[in-house]
A and B are shown apart, each in its own frame.
Chain A
């Protein structure tokens, strides 16, 4: 098991290296935009997420959905699938949750939000099921089917929101009933600045819990062993008697459910946000991909990378106080994500350095490793 830990370490180190490189490029961009205020702006980005408790609460709040979509992408990745269907699954989940939240008011208070979450998981799972079936039984590339499912999801949700849950005044879906809003867990008392509380709620805890559960499932269980075997070598998995078709379908279904829950956690926060009528795919869905990349598809890594990306977002809001265009933070995030893709390269380099060190150690203490 020692080996596993070493591999995890080099993954972490390379992600950190990517972040440092990305931030440096970000600084350069700030200098180009306005060299006089660049350092102040940069300071705002770096400290924005922790200047007060409310901001840190917002970091956790924005992190929740992208951790979930990140886990979704990471999970599918273990089976060798690229789940680019995050936006569709996320939106399907969001709609199911809001629908239950608005309509099923007959449910008792403690149960309502839980049922809404389950409905979201189910809807997301359905959106993952279709590409999974297509991949397993007709070998259709999941990227193509996922993208199609994204647009089907977007337009269908637009239609359903307009017909069933429309709030004309705000051009978005109606607000879920108070019983369907996620419990605050006292966070609204703690994560405050002055009188304004942050929107953070139990969602972040659920997302972290999901990360831990996924870690256990992938690394400790028979199911995870089979999924990874399918991901690495489908033929060998088949030879070993693993039902590889079932593994592929299940992997997409679970990935879809995770993204669906992400949608629910965002729209059940009680922050006043409704599902907008829009022609754009949900950014939180796509952001799962960079989050998973930066987290090296490792569940715990994904939790941290989700918080980090969200931290940048909140920092970016602070940065606007110095007159920088909000788009700059998008540039910085993109650059970091670019470097996250390079993280694979860093991983190789760091892995090689470690191995070289180990080599000396092994020769000296041959046979000492257990």
Chain B
């Protein structure tokens, strides 16, 4: 018997214009939690897809318990005991937990389902690994964290020995992440081998035994996690030293660039207040951060300021000019930049080439448009320049259809576009969501740089670290209202958390 339960030796996988996996070796020991670390586009998902039989490698072999195996499709992988929890769960939403788990491997007798046996096994497994899942709950009624456990149970029910988790924490709350780490350790203790794809260093430190690092499709190395520092790992991942702390000087505030007075937005159905009587301002040279738990009115507040949503009461003033009812185009051209929350819905026309997206807010300007005709040479030149300046990576440069780009690079393209317009007020909503360390550092630096150049920044973030590190002032939103204005220098994370949960509300 080999020491390794799975070995992927010297794997090469090429795509048009890019070598996604360039001679990569990955060895998974029995009963360990092995992290696969790399930035977006480093080739982690490709490697896992090769292991799961969705891609065939051009070169290299896969060994199970020392025996060479061919994995042609996910069914082969399943037979070898390899299971995967995808980033986007594959569950039937109006089925119960139990129905989802047995789907595809139903035990039947004379054409009828034998649910009782299945239920017994699911309950047993759930207890054995401390998953506490109710087999009769409907999927759409349970939390995302619970849904993930259902995915885990699915793998266990199929008696998989090698469990792949593809960025499992991206969708979870902090408490759920903690729970998941516990579950993963439990699984490892029971002899399961776990491959854990991530770019979050905290989680690797918390859970993994060993870690394999990929960078730009190349194998960088495999290390033991315990003795390694986060800085070392991030350096391996990014290829240079990365500061995990944002460096910035004190804010030098100038005049007010945005004033919001008594702003209210009602829900279309039911007339509930989504944003209630919100008043604040943003000055030049400061980063004001709106903190809060998701769904407390931040989205609506930003959409009201940027014009995507109608305002029911109150006033929005940009650089002394009332823009409460101004057209979106008018706002955009009078100095408002907006990095939207949902890059696919609002930020990009995914089926347009990158160049077209780079001028999405500027195509009508004389620089790019002459008597109604677009100047394509100019557009491509500008786009090429932005790509160069902001290091946006894609398969075919300005001609790349944006849909085919990685999420991080899509986000970079939006950041590039909005920053390059030199807005007086930049509204950035969760600008680093789903990005890797390198990209986060980059975007944080850009935001601080913009601040230092005298722009006002309104940042909406759900990540406490980001709020604490970046902001000069913190506004806490709870149920559509601003419940506190805090100074990041004096407030603690715990206090901030209390305000966000609505329990720190000051008695007026």
Which residues of A line the B interface, CB within 8 A? 1-3, 220-223, 225, 228-229, 232-233, 235-243, 355-356, 358-359, 362-363, 366, 369
Is there contact, CB below 8 Å, between A359 and B374? no
Q: Please encode chain B, from 362 to 375, with 1 for each CB lying within 8 Å of some chain A CB and 0 for all others.
A: 01100001001110
Binds A, one of B65-73, B116-124, B179-187, B344-352: B344-352
Other contacts beyond A220-B374, A222-B373: 12, CB < 8 A: A220-B373, A221-B374, A222-B369, A223-B372, A233-B348, A235-B346, A238-B346, A239-B328, A240-B328, A358-B16, A359-B16, A363-B14
Among B16, B306, B350, B376, the residue within 8 A (CB) of A233 is B350
Say yes or no: A232-B349 contact (C-beta < 8 A), given A225-B363, A238-B328, A241-B361: yes
Among B329, B361, B399, the residue within 8 A (CB) of A3 is B399
Query: How far is B345's CA from A221's CA once the two chains are assembled, in angstroms?
Result: 24
Is there contact, CB below 8 Å, between B17 and A362? yes
Among A222, A241, A362, the residue within 8 A (CB) of B327 is A241
B330 proximity list for chain A (CB < 8 A) = 241
Is there contact, CB below 8 Å, between B360 and A236? yes
Q: List 28 A-B contacts (CB under 8 A).
A: A1-B376, A220-B373, A221-B373, A222-B363, A222-B373, A228-B349, A229-B352, A229-B360, A232-B351, A232-B352, A233-B345, A233-B351, A236-B345, A236-B347, A236-B349, A238-B308, A239-B306, A239-B347, A240-B328, A240-B361, A241-B330, A241-B331, A241-B333, A242-B329, A359-B17, A362-B16, A363-B14, A366-B17
Query: How far is B306's CA from A243's CA once the two chains are assembled, in angstroms?
Result: 15
Query: How far is B338's CA from A366's CA once the two chains are assembled, in angstroms?
Result: 35
Say yes or no: A236-B364 contact (C-beta < 8 A), given A220-B373, A362-B16: no
| Closest CB in chain B relative to A220 CB, distance in Å | 6
B348 proximity list for chain A (CB < 8 A) = 233, 236
Chain A residue nearest to B356 in the complex (CB): A225
Is there contact, CB below 8 Å, between B349 and A237? yes
| Closest CB in chain A relative to B288 CB, distance in Å | 22
| Closest CB in chain B relative to A10 CB, distance in Å | 14
B456 contacts the other chain (CB 8 A): no
| Closest CB in chain B relative to A351 CB, distance in Å | 11
B353 contacts the other chain (CB 8 A): yes
Is there contact, CB below 8 Å, between B350 and A225? no
| Closest CB in chain A relative to B335 CB, distance in Å | 13
Is there contact, CB below 8 Å, between A239 and B346? yes
B340 contacts the other chain (CB 8 A): yes
The 3 closest A-B pairs by CB, nearest first: A241-B329, A359-B16, A239-B346
Is there contact, CB below 8 Å, between A222 and B345? no
Say yes or no: A240-B14 contact (C-beta < 8 A), given A220-B373, A229-B360: no
| Closest CB in chain B relative to A227 CB, distance in Å | 12
Is there contact, CB below 8 Å, between B308 and A239? yes
| Closest CB in chain B relative to A122 CB, distance in Å | 22
Contacting residues of chain B (267-283) with chain A, CB-CB under 8 angstroms:
none
Chain B residue nearest to A236 in the complex (CB): B349
Among A2, A239, A355, A358, the residue within 8 A (CB) of B338 is A239
Among A237, A239, A243, A359, the residue within 8 A (CB) of B14 is A359
Chain A residue nearest to B351 in the complex (CB): A232
Query: How far is B14's CA from A201's CA once the two chains are assembled, in angstroms?
Result: 56
B376 proximity list for chain A (CB < 8 A) = 1, 220
Query: How far is B346's CA from A362's CA once the two chains are assembled, in angstroms?
Result: 32
Query: How far is B347's CA from A241's CA once the two chains are assembled, in angstroms?
Result: 12
A235 proximity list for chain B (CB < 8 A) = 345-346
A221 proximity list for chain B (CB < 8 A) = 372-374
Q: Please encode chain B, from 299 to 311, with 1 for each CB lying within 8 Å of some chain A CB and 0 for all others.
A: 0000000101000
Chain A residue nearest to B327 in the complex (CB): A241
Is there contact, CB below 8 Å, between B340 and A239? yes
Is there contact, CB below 8 Å, between A232 and B350? yes
Is there contact, CB below 8 Å, between A222 and B364? yes
Query: How far is B411's CA from A151's CA once the two chains are assembled, in angstroms?
Result: 48
B353 proximity list for chain A (CB < 8 A) = 3
B45 contacts the other chain (CB 8 A): no
B331 proximity list for chain A (CB < 8 A) = 241
Q: Please encode chain B, from 441 to 465, with 1 for each CB lying within 8 Å of some chain A CB and 0 for all others.
A: 0000000000000000000000000
Contacting residues of chain B (359-395) with chain A, CB-CB under 8 angstroms:
360-361, 363-364, 369, 372-374, 376
Among A2, A236, A243, A359, the residue within 8 A (CB) of B15 is A359
Is there contact, CB below 8 Å, between B332 and A241? yes
Query: How far is B364's CA from A301's CA once the two chains are assembled, in angstroms?
Result: 29
Query: How far is B414's CA from A239's CA once the two chains are assembled, in angstroms?
Result: 12
Is there contact, CB below 8 Å, between A228 and B360? no
Is there contact, CB below 8 Å, between A229 and B349? yes
Is there contact, CB below 8 Å, between B374 and A225? yes
Is there contact, CB below 8 Å, between A355 and B16? yes
B396 contacts the other chain (CB 8 A): yes
Query: How far is B330's CA from A117's CA once the two chains are assembled, in angstroms?
Result: 38
| Closest CB in chain A relative to B195 CB, distance in Å | 28
Query: How far is B307's CA from A242's CA once the two chains are assembled, in angstroms?
Result: 12
Query: How far is B349's CA from A232's CA once the two chains are assembled, in angstroms?
Result: 6
Query: How far is B374's CA from A368's CA once the two chains are assembled, in angstroms?
Result: 26
Is there contact, CB below 8 Å, between A2 and B399? yes
Looking at B17, B327, B330, B361, the one whose CB has the most chain A CB atoms below 10 A away is B17
Q: Please encode chain B, from 1 to 39, with 1 for each CB lying within 8 Å of some chain A CB and 0 for all others.
A: 000000000000011110000000000000000000000
Is there contact, CB below 8 Å, between A3 and B338? no
Among B345, B360, B374, the residue within 8 A (CB) of A240 is B360
Query: How far is B355's CA from A2's CA once the two chains are assembled, in angstroms?
Result: 13
| Closest CB in chain A relative to B15 CB, distance in Å | 7
A242 proximity list for chain B (CB < 8 A) = 329
B352 proximity list for chain A (CB < 8 A) = 228-229, 232
Query: How far is B338's CA from A236's CA once the two chains are assembled, in angstroms?
Result: 12
| Closest CB in chain B relative to A354 CB, distance in Å | 10
A3 proximity list for chain B (CB < 8 A) = 353, 396, 399
| Closest CB in chain A relative to B384 CB, distance in Å | 10
A362 proximity list for chain B (CB < 8 A) = 16-17
B374 proximity list for chain A (CB < 8 A) = 220-222, 225
A366 proximity list for chain B (CB < 8 A) = 17
A222 proximity list for chain B (CB < 8 A) = 363-364, 369, 372-374
